[in-house]
Amino acid sequence: MTADPNRVSATEQSLPAQIGAVLFRHRGWLPLLFLGIPLVFPGSTSPFRWQVGLALIIIGEAIRLAGVAAAGTVTRRRSRNVQRLVTYGIFAWARNPLYIGNFLIWMGFVTISGVLWFLPAAVLLFAVEYELIVRYEEGVLESIFGREYLDYKNETPRWILAKENLRRYVAGDKLLSEVDVAKGY
C-alpha cells in the first residue's frame, strides 16, 4: 500500500487523539516535573534504591537504544510527516519501545530520588500522557498507512513486549541481523 500523508482517519480525529496531538508536540516538558519534584520535596535515598533505580534506568535506556537503532530518525518527529512504518527490531515486540524506555528511565530517577510518594503519581501521569499521545500517533499511522498499520497493530502489543513475537524474532534471521547492525555502531 502507498502511504497517503493527506488522509485523516476517524481515529486521528477523535478527542483523545486531538489532546494527544498537543501533548505530542510538547512532550519534552514532562521531564521537568520529574526533576522538580525531588528538588522541592527531597526524599531520602539508600543504596538499595540506587541499585533498583539504576537497573530501571539501564534497562530503559537499552530498550530506547534498541528502538532508535531499529528506527533511526524515522520516529524522531513532532509532526505527521512519517516516511515509513517501522515494524522490525524491537518494534516487532512492542509498538512503543521508546515510550517504554522513557517510562522505565523516569521511574528509575524517581526511585533514586527517594520521593516514593511521587511514584504512583508518576505512573499515573505517564499512563495518561502516553495513552493520549499514542492515540494520536496511532491515528496518524492509520491515516497514512491504512491496512498495513492496522495489521501491525493487531499483531503487536502496544506496551508489553510480546513473548510470541520474541520467539519469532529469535528463531529467524532477524536477531542475527540486529546483532550485526549493533556491531556496526
pLDDT of residue 16: 72
Nearest-CA neighbor of 169 among 90, 86, 71, 63? 90
Residue 15: CB partners within 8 Å, gap ≥ 6? Answer: none
Cβ contact 63:100 at 8 Å: yes
Greatest distance between any 2 Cα atoms in the chain: 55
Note the pLDDT tens digit of each residue in 96-130: 999 899 999 999 999 999 998 999 988 998 888 88
Residue spans of the domains in the chain: they are 10-183
Note the pLDDT tens digit of each residue in 54-70: 999 999 999 999 999 98
Question: In Å, what is the CA distance from 72 to each residue of 16, 102, 180?
Answer: 28, 17, 16
Q: Could you give the dihedral angle defined by the CA atoms of residues 16, 131, 90 and 58, in that order, rounded to the nearest 10 degrees?
A: 150
Residue 105 to residue 44: CA distance in whole angstroms: 19
pLDDT of residue 5: 59
pLDDT of residue 47: 95
Residue 144 to residue 155: CA distance in whole angstroms: 18
Note the pLDDT tens digit of each residue in 129-160: 888 888 888 888 888 899 999 999 999 988 88
CATH topology of domain 10-183: Four Helix Bundle (Hemerythrin (Met), subunit A) (1.20.120)
Residue 166: CB partners within 8 Å, gap ≥ 6? Answer: 93
Asked if residue 179 has pLDDT above 80, the reply is no
Residue 148 to residue 122: CA distance in whole angstroms: 34
pLDDT of residue 77: 60
Nearest-CA neighbor of 60 among 129, 93, 114, 109? 109
Cβ contact 98:78 at 8 Å: no
Asked if residue 175 has pLDDT above 70, the reply is no
Note the pLDDT tens digit of each residue in 1-42: 555 556 777 777 777 777 777 777 777 777 777 777 877 888
Residue 67 to residue 99: CA distance in whole angstroms: 10
